[in-house]
Structure 1
Amino acid sequence: MSSRTFLHCETSSMLQPNDRLRANLEQQPFNYKATVLLPDCGCLPSQLDTPLKSFQSFYLVRKLPLYELLDKQGTDLLAYVPNISTTRMHALGGVCGLSYKTRIEEDNCAFLKPDGHLCLSLDKDSYERLGIEGKACKPKSTRYVVVVDLSDSGMAPGGCGYRRLLSGLTSRLPLKMDFLLAAHSGGGDALELLLSRYERSQHTPEVSSRLLTDLTRPAPLTSDLRSYDPFGFLEWLGAVQADISCADITDGFLSSLECPRASGVSSPSSFLLSVRGLLLPENVMTLVRQLRHILEGPRPPPWAAVTVYAFADNLYVHERNFYTLLLFPDHAYSLHLARPAS
Structure 2
Amino acid sequence: MTNITVTKVEKLGVLPTDASLGFGKIFTDHMFVMDYETEKGWHSPRIVPYGEFGFVPATIVFHYGQAIFEGMKAFRSADNTVAVFRTREYLNRFNRSADHLCIPRIDVEEVRTGLFKLLEIEKNWVPSSPGTSLYIRPFIIATDKNIGVKVSNTYKLFIILSPVGAYYEHGFNPVSIKVEDHYVRATKGGLGMAKTPANYAMSLAAQNEAHADGFDQVLWLDAVHRKYVEEVGTMNILFKINGEIVTPELSGSILGGITRQTVMELTRSWGLNAIERQISIEEVFEAQAKGQLEEVFGSGTAAVISPVGELSWKNEKLIISNNKTGEYAQKLFDFITGVQYGRLLDEFGWMDEVK
Q: Max radius of gyration: which structure?
A: 1
Q: Tell me the TM-score normalised to structure 2 length.
A: 0.23
